[in-house]
Amino acid sequence: MSAIIITGAREHNLKNLDLSIPKDRFVVMTGVSGSGKSSLAFDTIYAEGQRRYVESLSSYARQFLGLMDKPDVDRIDGLSPSISIDQKTVSHNPRSTVGTTTEIYDYLRLLYARVGHPKCPFDKTEITKLSLDEIVQRAQEQLTTQAANHKSAPNVFQILSPVVRNKKGEFKDLFANLRSKGFHDIIVDGQNFNLSDEISLLKANPHTISAVIDTVSVSHADLKNPIFVSNLSSRLTTSFQLALSLSVGLAILKSESQEILYSENFACSVCGHALPEIEPRMFSFNSPLGACEQCKGLGIIEKIDPERIINPRLSYNQGGILPLNRLLLSETWYTRLIQTVAETEGVSLTTPLGQLTDQERQILLYGTGREYEVVGRNLKGKVTSIHEIWDGIIPRLEQRYLETTSEWSRMDLGQYIRQELCPSCLGLKLKKAVLAITIDNLNIIEMTNQPVSDLKVYFEKSLALILSPYELQVAKGIIKEVTTRLNFLDNVGLGYLDLARASRTLSGGEQQRIRLASQIGTGLTGVLYVLDEPSIGLHSRDVDALIASLRHLV
């Protein structure tokens, strides 16, 4: 059937309307406000198309979708499954961004997990992960190179296991354990010791201790002997395997001129900081694996604003600390604690808060960290005492705001809350170790902070030149998907947005065009799309690009 035929449409203010709408065409409904445009397009055509599609599903699937009311219409023929893209569905989730809505951020997470370069978040040293075979191969190459450069005399190498790296202690138990395992020599803070000797270390000083696993002598002539080379490879494999097992994945190849540290984990060669296996979930600010531990992936923290809770003209006893007004109506252990702290520290509770010194206000609001004995009567009337540390009024209020299950309490305290940039992640939402994983020296948040139009050019022209041939082979499919979605966003006039932009800060028109770009990206045709003023808020120069994008849906 080449048309949608509607008979007897009476939804809302429609007056028993009969009409035919051609299929696989752009159809524009215009008219004054209240003329029934939305009643026909959304509440009749879209609603019936959606209802019929849901009814075609199994009864098991329908129970999760719920019942849908049939619109007031006699009959609709030639109807396709329908999708509505309106301006009313605006996300208020603080975690929703342009990147997550369009799923571009999901592809970026995959990209960083596959070809990102991890660095130590503390000293910025690049972190590499090697297998045992790769470590042996690199060590053998190092031996060969050094022997070729020093042909006159044999070159002596030591294979070490760094069992302690810059830690305080005497380590007598460690020495005894190494002795029992048959080790003879160790290196402590650069000095050689025999484990049979008495080794005394200062407990308060940090020490670095390595067990000597093997000592290898290699000359240039030896490397021309195939049997020697074969035996050397087996010997290195055995020695490095032991070294790695002893120090949980670290081993050192030491010569007279240098030390090379190898790691079979994602671990820093300088400070030993280790990363878990890199996976896409680590780059999600909605996952505990990647989210900043202080702000839980929001990039902001909520704090009580001292200026909002204080009336400087009133004293504490007069209700000058607004959230505590109701507490003054009765005596509780908390009010007794405040009175005890005030008496002990010499803070007046009858002086207007604005006339207190900064130190006195600091004691009341942020505490002293000291313990106080609070004396009072319990519920049975018996005089008793408790000991409690005073951490201040504001930390208690913040704890109550975070932990309360009462919606009323949360709204009541919410009026005193202000949002601050998270001091741990500086608004970047992710853990420092995750932010240290980069592509082209950009972490994933810095990548999403670029405008869509700039990011599109970067993915189309620059990124392929930066990646190695192996990385490009791995990332080729991901780059294609990201570029396609960025093109759709740019074509619907959203090139000025960045992927990190919060969805709740977007206008209705921007939200609608984002969902429109997502639908275009699915490549789904033969579907009835119902759009609500898709060009609203769009500059006239971008209308042609929007129409060209809409043609992908037909």
Number of domains in the chain: 4
Q: Are 137 and 237 in contact (CB under 8 A)?
A: no
Let me know if residue 294 belongs to a domain. Answer: no
Q: Are 95 and 298 in contact (CB under 8 A)?
A: yes
Q: Which of 500, 517, 80, 524 is nearest to 534 (CA)?
A: 517
CA dist 252 and 396 (Å) reads: 51
Residue linked to tokens 């203010």:
13
Low-confidence winner among 22-26, 99-103, 148-152, 424-428 (lowest mean pLDDT) = 148-152
Place 75 in a pLDDT band, splitting at 50, 70 and 90. Answer: very high
CATH of the domain at 374: 1.10.8.280
Structure confidence at residue 377 (pLDDT): 78
Mean pLDDT of 286-314: 91
Do 153 and 109 belong together in one domain? no
Per DSSP, the three-state class of 153 is: coil
Mean pLDDT of 186-211: 89
Do 138 and 260 belong together in one domain? yes
CA dist 253 and 440 (Å) reads: 30
Task: Kindly write down the DSSP assignment for every residue of 449-493, as one continuous string.
Answer: TSBHHHHHHIIIIIHHHHS-HHHHHHHHHHHHHHHHHHHHHHHTT
Do 250 and 312 belong together in one domain? no
DSSP bridge partners of 5:
20, 77
- Whether residue 150 has pLDDT greater than 70: yes
The residues, ordered by sequence, that sit 6+ positions from 33 with a Cβ below 8 Å of its Cβ are none
Q: Which residue has the higher pLDDT, 367 or 204?
A: 367
Low-confidence winner among 80-94, 115-129, 270-284, 482-496 (lowest mean pLDDT) = 80-94
For 165-188, what is each residue's pLDDT tens digit?
878 888 888 999 999 989 999 999
The amino acid occupying position 381 is G
Structure tokens at 393: 């009024």
Furthest CA-CA distance within the chain: 104
Per DSSP, the three-state class of 223 is: helix
Per DSSP, the three-state class of 157 is: strand
What is the extent of the structural domain holding 351? 302-420
Residue linked to tokens 């740019």:
490
Let me know if residue 277 belongs to a domain. Answer: no
Place 87 in a pLDDT band, splitting at 50, 70 and 90. Answer: low
Place 361 in a pLDDT band, splitting at 50, 70 and 90. Answer: very high
Per the prediction, the chain carries an average pLDDT of 87
Q: Are 292 and 425 in contact (CB under 8 A)?
A: yes
**What is the bridge-based pairing of β-strands 528-531 and 82-85?**
parallel
Q: Which of 165, 172, 208 is nearest to 188 (CA)?
A: 208
CA dihedral 453, 459, 465, 466 (to 10 degrees): 100
Let me know if residue 434 belongs to a domain. Answer: no
pLDDT cut 70: percent of the chain above it? 96
Q: Which of 264, 271, 270, 269 is nearest to 248 (CA)?
A: 264
Let me know if residue 273 belongs to a domain. Answer: no
Do 73 and 151 belong together in one domain? no
Structure confidence at residue 90 (pLDDT): 61
Do 17 and 73 belong together in one domain? yes
Let me know if residue 275 belongs to a domain. Answer: no
Let me know if residue 36 belongs to a domain. Answer: yes
- Whether residue 363 has pLDDT greater than 90: yes
Let me know if residue 89 belongs to a domain. Answer: no
Do 388 and 489 belong together in one domain? no
pLDDT cut 90: percent of the chain above it? 38
CATH of the domain at 515: 1.20.1580.10
Do 388 and 363 belong together in one domain? yes
Place 89 in a pLDDT band, splitting at 50, 70 and 90. Answer: low
Let me know if residue 378 belongs to a domain. Answer: yes
Structure confidence at residue 68 (pLDDT): 78
For 400-436, what is each residue's pLDDT tens digit?
888 888 888 888 888 999 989 999 999 999 999 999 9
- Whether residue 191 has pLDDT greater than 80: yes
Place 139 in a pLDDT band, splitting at 50, 70 and 90. Answer: confident
Do 74 and 104 belong together in one domain? no
Structure confidence at residue 435 (pLDDT): 94
Structure confidence at residue 483 (pLDDT): 94
Place 516 in a pLDDT band, splitting at 50, 70 and 90. Answer: confident
Taking the model in full, what pTM does it have?
0.67
Mean pLDDT of 309-329: 86
Per DSSP, the three-state class of 433 is: helix
Phi and psi at 409, nearest 5°, equal -60, -40
Low-confidence winner among 48-57, 106-115, 341-350, 534-543 (lowest mean pLDDT) = 534-543
Do 256 and 352 belong together in one domain? no
- Whether residue 156 has pLDDT greater than 80: yes
Place 272 in a pLDDT band, splitting at 50, 70 and 90. Answer: low
Place 91 in a pLDDT band, splitting at 50, 70 and 90. Answer: low
> What count of other Cβ atoms lies within 10 Å of the Cβ of residue 316?
24
Do 140 and 260 belong together in one domain? yes
For the chain, the C-alpha Rg in angstroms (whole number) is 35
The residues, ordered by sequence, that sit 6+ positions from 18 with a Cβ below 8 Å of its Cβ are 6, 7, 8, 9
CATH of the domain at 260: 3.30.190.20
CA 236 to chain centre: 41
Do 244 and 139 belong together in one domain? yes
Structure confidence at residue 88 (pLDDT): 63
CATH of the domain at 7: 3.40.50.300
Do 215 and 318 belong together in one domain? no
